[in-house]
A = this chain, B = another copy of it.
Amino acid sequence: MNVSDLQYFLGMAGTVAFAATAVAAVAPKGIDFFGAIVMGIITAIGGGTIRDVILDVPVFWSLDLNYIWVAIVASLVTFIANRMMTRREIYRSMLYLDALGVSLFAIQATHKVMQYDFGLPLGPVLLGIITAIGGGLIRDVLSNSPTLLMRNELYAIPVTVGCITYYTLMNFSSESAIENGFFSIMLIFCLRSAAIYWDLRVPNWMLTKPTQP
């Protein structure tokens, strides 16, 4: 297994994670199997689709439908295993897989956008964030849930730190993309995992004061 195989494998693992956590997230609202699959697909490919449309390049899944097949299978399996998945401890372990997916997609996107010299230096970071959280935002909107931007979770901040880190490292040593990528992915994954494990949230003094009950 070489580096490119590994990257592909990790991309698929991220897709599984996104689709499965999406179905697990909407399941408590009572969704049918078809809605579950649609939610799984949209969450898995939504962010990357927005990125490719803004970049004006062919959307990634039209060139490799495995992303969609994998999302369909992962959604269906999660739907069927739903009573099991909603048990708290299993849902939490899904969150770590989701964290890995977010890390991978964010850095892959940053890398892709840099290759197109698109809006340097902000473009790669911005589209890295959109790729990582875009699918989840669409899922929350379509399932009428509060979006993660309103939930004060440490979710988008680790992604941003990782994308900036990768962009900075690549400007110093563009020849060692693999090491830079590995480090940045690990950075996002560790920060996000710490947030899940200790249930860390954005501290109160970094919030605006809510005036609504």
Question: In the bound complex, do residue B202 and residue A34 qualify as a contact, i.e. CB atoms below 8 Å apart?
Answer: yes
- Residues of chain B within 8 A of A31, CB atoms compared: 149-150, 152, 207-208
Chain multiplicity (copies): 3
| A207 CA to B80 CA, complexed, in Å | 10
**Are A30 and B207 also in contact (CB < 8 A) when A58-B56, A156-B38 are?**
yes
Nearest B residue (CB) for A117: B62
| A31 CA to B211 CA, complexed, in Å | 11
Question: In the bound complex, do residue A30 and residue B208 qualify as a contact, i.e. CB atoms below 8 Å apart?
Answer: yes
| A211 CA to B85 CA, complexed, in Å | 13
Q: How far is the CB of A59 from chain B (nearest CB, A)?
A: 6
Q: Is the CB of A74 closer than 8 A to any CB of chain B?
A: no
| A39 CA to B207 CA, complexed, in Å | 14
Nearest B residue (CB) for A129: B38
Q: Is the CB of A89 closer than 8 A to any CB of chain B?
A: no
Q: Pick 7 A–B contacts, CB within 8 A, sort by A.
A: A28-B212, A30-B150, A30-B210, A32-B152, A41-B126, A53-B53, A53-B54
On A, residues with C-beta under 8 Å from B are: 26-36, 38-39, 41, 49, 53-54, 56, 58-59, 61-63, 65, 68-69, 79, 82-83, 86, 118-119, 121-123, 126, 129, 137, 141-144, 146-147, 149-150, 152, 156-157, 160, 202, 206-212
